[in-house]
Chain A
Amino acid sequence: MLQEESDLSLIIAQIVQKLKGSNLYSQLERQAWASLQRPEIKLESLKEDIKEFFKISGWEKKLQNAVYSELSVFPLPSHPAAPPEHLKEPLVYMRKAQGSWEKRILKSLNSMCTELSIPLARKRPVGEQKELLNKWNEMGTDEPDLSLFRPVYAPKDFLEVLINLRNPNYENGDSLSFRTHLGLIQIPLKVKDIPELKECFVELGLNTGQLGIDDSTQVPPELFENEHVRIGQKVLAEQDSAAAQQYIRQGSPTALRAELWALILNISSEPEDVLYYEQLKTNVIQHDLLVDSLIYKDVKLTASNDDYYFVFEDYLYQVLLCFSRDTSVLSHFAYNSASPPKSYIRGKLGLEEYAVFYPPNGVIPFHGFSMYVAPLCFLYHEPSKLYQIFREMYVRFFFRLHSISSHPSGIVSLCLLFETLLQTYLPQLFYHLREIGAQPLRISFKWMVRAFSGYLATDQLLLLWDRILGYNSLEILAVLAAAVFAFRAVNLMEVTSLAAAEAVLADLSTLKVMPLLQIFLFATVT
């Protein structure tokens, strides 16, 4: 068997195995059994007739969407000799750096635990359970004393770790070279340049219609918008994930966005999904976690203070508290360089049968984490659907923004892409900002870690996240960051301090993202 053929068979075998455990599999089985009653299913051509039936009834499409979803999320199987760590992160020094960073976080959480004498987890007494159940829909009205809690880390702490990342096999030499020392990131990852980005984001080009540009009030809707909406409705009627992903590269009409995102993420709200969410809610009621207080604090500090998102405060608790209890999130650690923190039942230290993950989903939230959920509240109002969408967005995209890896959509690559774009295409600006002690990444890092949530106006943010889904990549965040600097270059050239530079870039709420991206990629003379 040739290498390519065996690779394909391996991928198929893996996907089949994954789907075998899914809801869809049992539904397909039931449908196949039920179809035997139908007159057009003949025994002599059973296999072909059932396949035809699946095609006509739309079940084949559902299967296609599930396969497409698996292909989008899971990396291709690596070499048979490669251990599981290699799939999480191929570079050994990055794995080590992630391990050290995790250890720091665990130490921080442990010391918070011992200092405040609060257990990591405790079972709630029945009275407290009843109380929480009663105020489940208005947890925002609670004002617990969170003054002693501090976020486990903030984006700027994480940036310091990334700045200090070094490849032990990479020698910069003693002399200053162009690549080294100018930017903050010193890791030689491969990043795209503008010609490659133009090829990659070809649908954002000047000759292609875009929502965010060609739907503005001055442009007559017959030119682009009407047709685009019509195509969007057709895509939804077909229920085809791959087509939806291609379509959304030009942006999603507001009315269709919720359904389109659900289709791309392959989220369908079956009764089982609602039940699963209710089970998570029960887990929240029964057990109180230290992590809950971190979530409360984060929501109060960030989303509650935001003009756009404070109305959704209660939703945020309902999503994030359940998220922490969701063990199905653990499966994403197979391709995440991070690993879930481990703990032992009290008194059973070291006994493997009493080892558990903490929190149950293995994700410790940091300062600003709730901002990943907030924009989704504009699209989804039913808690279990909102929850499913957020969970899928997290295990596909957001986890890459706060773990150390060499993945092209990982935060390290995004930082390097941003710095390289700026250095290459705006060298004067880059040099000037460096000279005044305002390294550009120090300003743009927080935008990228939060995927611009809380910095852009919501309609603009949703147009940006449309493209993240459409291209299945976070690179657009780095491109937008560079485009913002390019847009404000004239003002930035005049500042003489880091504080002044930050002031120029403090308010992004008036920016229109699509024109910025289009100009930076396609209309700048290089």
Chain B
Amino acid sequence: MSRILVPCHVKGTVALQVGDVRTSQGRPGVLVIDVTFPSVAPFELQEITFKNYYTAFLSIRVRQHTSAHTTAKWLTCLRDYCLMPDPHSEEGAQEYVSLFKHQSPSMTFPKWLSHPVPCEQPALLCESLPDPSRVSSEVQQMWALTEMIRASHTSARIGRFDVDGCYDLNLLSYT
């Protein structure tokens, strides 16, 4: 099943706070980011990926647009998902995060976001070890990913540090 990026528009953050922004002293603890999808056709949302920057807890709410005569409803898909186990320390503060459709029980996208696809229910991974032959076949699928990782490492060295026998250097470079 191939996956494609859904074009979306991410608006700037809005602070949720009571009272006048100019006069109040305190810093708001809750910020809201609006994400809209310009494309009209319904799609099955599989994964949301983002880079965190010091957000401790995340909630996701979805609003459904139906026909003109019914009011749009807000549904909570995710509530207080913990991104930083200790908000006063750096753990998780700048991590890359992926949220999957079936990751946690509270993460349910409403029906209109997903058309029924005949696929088996994914079993919960408990304490038992995965089946080795199944894992080894999945390793083949992961090969493209590791190729990407390998390409991003420092380039392969063949043990030589010189260029054609020459190691006559100028000065160290700052870039």
A binds B: yes
Q: Which residues of A contact B (CB under 8 A)?
A: 1-6, 8-10, 12-14, 16-17, 77-84, 86, 90-92, 103, 106-107, 109-110, 113-114, 119-123, 167, 169, 187-190, 279, 283, 287, 325, 327-328, 330-331, 333-334, 341-347, 349, 353-358, 360, 406
CB < 8 Å: which of A10, A103, A113, A190 contacts B91? Answer: A190
A79-B97, A357-B161 are contacts. A13–B146 as well, Cβ < 8 Å? yes
Instruction: Verify A5–B125 contact, CB threshold 8 A.
Output: yes
Q: How extensive is the interface on chain B, given as a class? A: 35 or more
Task: Give CA–CA (A140, B94) in the complex, Å.
Answer: 49
CB <8 Å contact, B135 and A9: yes
A301 to chain B, nearest CB (A): 23
CB pair A83–B95 under 8 Å, yes or no, is: no
Kindly list chain B residues whose C-beta atoms are within 8 Å of the C-beta of A188: 88-90
13 A-B pairs, CB-CB below 8 angstroms? Answer: A2-B123, A2-B124, A9-B142, A10-B146, A13-B139, A190-B90, A327-B160, A330-B154, A342-B172, A344-B169, A345-B169, A347-B170, A356-B161
Given the known interface contacts A14-B146, A354-B163, the answer about A1 and B138 at a Cβ–Cβ threshold of 8 Å is yes
> Within the assembled complex, what's the spacing in Å between the Cα atoms of A360 and B157?
11
Q: Are A9 and B138 within 8 A (Cβ)?
A: yes
Q: Do A13 and B100 touch (CB < 8 A)?
A: no
Q: Which residues from B are CB-within-8-Å of A123? A: 167-168
**Which chain A residues lie closer than 8 Å to B122 at the CB level?**
1-2
Q: B141 an interface residue at 8 Å Cβ cutoff? A: yes
- Asked whether B167 lies within 8 Å of A287 as measured between CB atoms, the reply is yes
**Selected contact of B173 from candidates A3, A13, A331, A344, CB within 8 Å:** A344
Assess whether B157 is in contact with A330, with CB atoms less than 8 Å apart: yes
On B, residues with C-beta under 8 Å from A are 49, 51, 53-54, 86, 88-91, 93-98, 100, 102-103, 122-125, 130, 135, 138-139, 141-143, 145-146, 148-150, 152-154, 157, 159-163, 166-175
Measured CA separation A341–B93 after assembly (Å): 29
Q: How many angstroms from the CA of A309 to the CA of B162 in the assembled complex?
A: 34
Determine the main DSSP class of B at the interface with A.
loop
Q: CB distance B168 to A346 under 8 Å?
A: yes
Q: Is the CB of A110 within 8 A of B171?
A: yes
Tally A-B pairs: CB < 8 A: 157
Note all chain A residues with C-beta closer than 8 A to B170: 120, 343-347, 349
Asked if A12 contacts B90 (CB within 8 A), the reply is: no
Cα A347 to Cα B127 in complex, Å, equals 61
Q: How far is the CA of A337 from the CA of B175 in the complex (A)?
A: 16
B44 → chain A closest CB, angstroms: 16
**Majority SS at the chain A contact face:** mixed
A346 / chain B contacts, CB cutoff of 8 Å: 168-170
Report whether B142 and A10 are in contact in the complex, using a CB–CB cutoff of 8 Å.
Answer: yes
Residues of B within 8 A of A6 (CB): 138, 142
Inter-chain CA distance A283–B162, complex, in Å, is 10
Given contacts A17-B150, A345-B163, 11 further A-B pairs with CB under 8 A are A5-B135, A6-B138, A9-B138, A14-B146, A82-B96, A86-B96, A91-B90, A169-B93, A344-B170, A353-B163, A356-B169
| CB neighbours of B49 from chain A (8 A) | 79, 81
**Whole-angstrom CA separation of A202 from B173 in the bound complex:** 47
Of B98, B160, B162, the most chain A CB neighbours within 10 A belong to: B162
A189 touches B174 (CB 8 A): no
With contacts A8-B130, A356-B161 taken as known, whether A13 is within 8 angstroms of B167 at the C-beta atoms is: no
Which chain A positions have C-beta within 8 A of B90? 91, 167, 187-190, 406
Question: Is A119 within 8 A of B169, CB to CB?
Answer: yes
> B97, B125, B154, B167: which contacts A356 (Cβ < 8 A)?
B167
Partner of A358, one of B100, B157, B169, B175: B169
Partner pick for A77 among B97, B149, B174, CB 8 A cutoff:
B149
Given the interface pairs A13-B139, A90-B94, A325-B161, the reply to whether A121 lies near B169 with Cβ below 8 Å is yes
Q: Closest residue of chain A to B146, judged by CB? A: A13
Contact residues in A for B163 (Cβ distance below 8 Å):
345, 353-354, 356
Given A190-B89, A330-B157, A334-B153 in contact, is the A343-B173 Cβ separation under 8 Å? yes
In the complex, which of the residues A3, A106, A189 has the most CB atoms of chain B within 10 Å of its own CB atom?
A3
Residues of B within 8 Å of A9, CB to CB, are 135, 138-139, 141-142
Assembled-state Cα–Cα distance A112/B149 (Å): 38
- CB–CB B172/A343 < 8 A: yes
Given A9-B135, A9-B141, A16-B139, answer yes or no on A109-B146 (Cβ-Cβ < 8 Å).
Answer: no
